[in-house]
Amino acid sequence: MNGSYNLQLLIDKMSGNMKFVGMFYIIMGGFYCLSIIGAIIGVPFIISGLRIRESASAFRSYSFNTNEYFLAEAIDKQNSFFNIQKIIMMVSMAFVILYIVLMLVIGITFFQELGQIEDFSV
Please tell me the pTM assigned to this model. Answer: 0.78
What is the DSSP-derived secondary structure letter of residue 33? T
Nearest to 81, CA basis, from 42, 25, 11, 15: 25
pLDDT in tens, 33-57: 999 888 888 999 999 999 999 999 9
pLDDT value of position 38 = 86
Q: Is the pLDDT of residue 118 over 70?
A: no
For residues 77-83, average pLDDT: 95
Residue 66 binned pLDDT confidence (cut-offs 50, 70, 90)? confident
Q: What is the pLDDT of residue 28?
A: 95
Question: Residue type at 69?
Answer: Y
* pLDDT tens digits along 95-107: 999 999 999 999 9
* Phi/psi of residue 35, nearest 5 degrees: -115, 155
Residue 117 has pLDDT above 80, yes or no: no
